[in-house]
Amino acid sequence: MNQPAAPIQSKIESTIDSARIDRWLAEDVHTGDVTTDAVLDVGAPVAARWVAKADGVIAGLAEAEAVFRRLDPDLDWRPAVAEGDAVAAGTELVVFEGAGRAVLTGERTALNIAQRMSGIATATRGYVDRIAGHRARILDTRKTVPGLRDLDKKAVAIGGGVNHRAGLYDLAMIKDNHIAAAGGITAAVAAVRAHAPAISIEVETTTLDELDEALAAGVDMIMLDNMAPETMAAAVERTAGRARLEASGNVGRDNIVAIAATGVDFISIGALTHSVIAFDISQRVDRIQS
């Protein structure tokens, strides 16, 4: 097995505080849950459970618990699986008991978060498993839902992927429009170094000539954008370890093994977070006591 490339950075940690949860709940509850408030008395206890309705990788249970606990601080939450576990359809994920109004009112918000995160983790794990044995590691992008980037990236890490930059501030990514504005790769790199001398720099390239210019500029990482696998392999040979290489563009299940076989360090996949297929989880209420 080839030695995996070192991560770009440690995984991004999410922050789930009461104010953030309140914003999520306010979007759904607003002036009140008219249905639940009508059919359940205040304090009526409920026993419920979550069940997986598909095969996949679980993520977002901690965030879901935080949603329910914001509505019922005394909630009894008992996970049957851990974050990152691969489960089969029909697997019981968590059992919990609490105030019925909290369990039903928080259901959709909690499920939305967990289903999205589990969907991302599942997709990521699928790609990670597909290229097992190769050096390349699966990398996420900034193509995330505004306000949920930390959760999207946390889910990628849970699925076995690697987090790329958190935003525009922690890595200089010189893309085609920057290159055009600066008048070339060399000029763009010089401008970034003058503005932020300590920042790591990645440059987007589409040809081997552009790769050579980026290498001559001494950048830390180079994106190989929409290159054919044979061109990527030539880029790996030409680079000879002088910079880390990221393959990007039109990556899918049909071509990812061929891309990984070129020897690149990372393969970035925007679809992990911009085209999420939510993982199907069902909440089942087992008992309501008056």
Helix (H, G, I), strand (E, B) or coil at 282: strand
Q: Which residues pair with 99 in a beta bridge?
A: 45
Examine the residue annotation and report whether 225 is marked as an active-site residue of this protein.
yes
Residues 20, 142, 143, 193: which is the catalytic one? 143
- What tokens were used for 33? 């849950």
13 a catalytic residue: no
Q: Does 108 participate in catalysis according to the annotation?
A: yes
Catalytic residue among 108, 142, 193, 242: 108
- Note if 153 is an active site residue: no
Torsion angle, alpha carbons of 259, 85, 121, 56, to 10: 90
Residues 6+ apart with CB under 8 A from 222: 202, 203, 205, 211, 214, 215, 235, 239, 243, 244, 245, 246
**Strand ranges (E), the chain:** 45-52, 56-57, 76-79, 86-87, 92-99, 137-139, 172-174, 201-205, 221-225, 244-248, 266-268, 281-288
The catalytic position among 33, 63, 83, 225 is 225
- Cα–Cα distance for residue pair 18/7, rounded to 1 Å: 31
Q: For residue 200, how many other CB atoms are within 10 A of its CB?
A: 17
Name the active-site residue from 65, 97, 202, 204. 204
- Catalytic residue of the set 23, 53, 175, 238: 175
The C-alpha atoms of residue 222 and residue 175 are separated, in whole angstroms, by: 10
Catalytic (active site) residue 254: no
| Residues acting as catalytic residues | 108, 143, 175, 204, 225
